[in-house]
Amino acid sequence: MKPTKRRKTKTAHHSPLDADIIFGLHAVQAALDVPVSRVKEIWLAAERDDERVDNLLASAKEQGVVVHSAERATLDKLAPEVQHQGCVAKCKPLESLDEKGLFDLIDSLNEPPLLLILDGVQDPHNLGACLRTAEASGAHAVIAPKDRASGLTATAIKISSGSAERLPFIQVTNLSRVMRDLQQQGIWLVGTSGDSETSLYDTSLSGPIAIVLGAEGKGIRHLTRENCDEVIFIPMRGEAESLNVSVASGVCLFEAFRQRNL
């Protein structure tokens, strides 16, 4: 397929700073690969000319997305202080499920739900990594509070390597209430804490499960822990006191994946 021709822009006269921005070739390509893309416009570094760019241009043409050729200074202004890889896109906001949508999703599943609940994770890098891990392990959704937690920022979307475009991410106003509602749906809530006496590997994760992980350094909050049906720990060796939340999510979710695929 012949690549889309890029239209040169001298300056960022139509700045997309007031809309959702994603950056990085992989993140933009992932946003183009969904059936109905949310990408509106793309800015590419004028000097970029390789197979990945050709693939992106072909996808943009199929989706009817305008692609501009831009100087590095323009790209740096559109996506400041990030490694944008010479590729920035202006997008419609990601469509997100509300609480009703979450329970509709659960009702529609033909297998036991596997959910990840993030209690106050504020680092968008960690959120993006958790989304990527959750999708890879077969989780059906990631849930987080709206307040004092990272949302789907451009950085989180890039770090997710496309998972943010495909995996439902639900931010809720009252996490404790949603956890109780999940319990009413028969979902077992498994929290994590270093002071638990129950090992991850002694826990059944093959049924309807929501794994609950806390913020960096602080862990799950007291009220969140009270709402869990069970609290477990991840066995570790060495001197490290804890794992990064994205690493911990991978350990827990892939143990669930293993148990579900025995």
- Going 28 to 118 to 179 to 134, the CA torsion angle's sign is positive
Q: Annotation-wise, does 109 bind a ligand?
A: no
**Single-letter code of the amino acid located at 164:** A
Q: How far is Cα 167 from Cα 16, in angstroms, rounded to an integer?
A: 25
Neighbours of 140 (CB within 10 A): 20
- For 49-67, the pLDDT digits (tens) are 788 899 999 999 999 999 9
Q: Annotation-wise, does 214 bind a ligand?
A: yes
Phi, psi angle pair for 9, to nearest 5°: -125, 130
Q: What is the mean pLDDT of the chain?
A: 88
For residues 170 and 99, the answer to whether their CB atoms sit within 8 Å is: yes
Length of the chain: 262
- Going 121 to 127 to 129 to 134, the CA torsion angle's sign is positive
Q: At which residue do the structure tokens 């202080």 appear?
A: 81
The reply to whether CATH 3.40.1280.10 applies to domain 99-260 is: yes
Phi, psi angle pair for 40, to nearest 5°: -100, -50
For residue 14, pLDDT beyond 60:
no
For residue 29, pLDDT beyond 50:
yes
Q: What angle do CA 102, 110, 234 make, to 5 degrees?
A: 70
For residue 111, pLDDT beyond 70:
yes
Cα–Cα distances (Å) from 204 to 15, 70, 193, 219, 220, in that order, read: 51, 53, 17, 22, 21
Q: Delimit the domains of the chain by residue range.
A: 7-91, 99-260
Q: Annotation-wise, does 128 bind a ligand?
A: no
Q: How far is Cα 55 from Cα 95, in angstroms, rounded to an integer?
A: 25
Instruction: Of 163, 126, 151, give the one whose Cα is nearest residue 26.
Output: 163
For residues 79 and 23, the answer to whether their CB atoms sit within 8 Å is: yes
Nearest 10 degrees: Cα torsion 127, 133, 136, 140: -60
Secondary element (H or E) of residue 100: helix 99-108
Provide the token pair at 131: 């989304």
Provide the token pair at 8: 């040169």
- pLDDT value of residue 214: 94
Neighbours of 161 (CB within 10 A): 18
**pLDDT tier for residue 225 given thresholds of 50, 70 and 90:** very high
The reply to whether CATH 3.30.1330.30 applies to domain 7-91 is: yes
Least confident of 35-44, 75-84, 233-242: 75-84
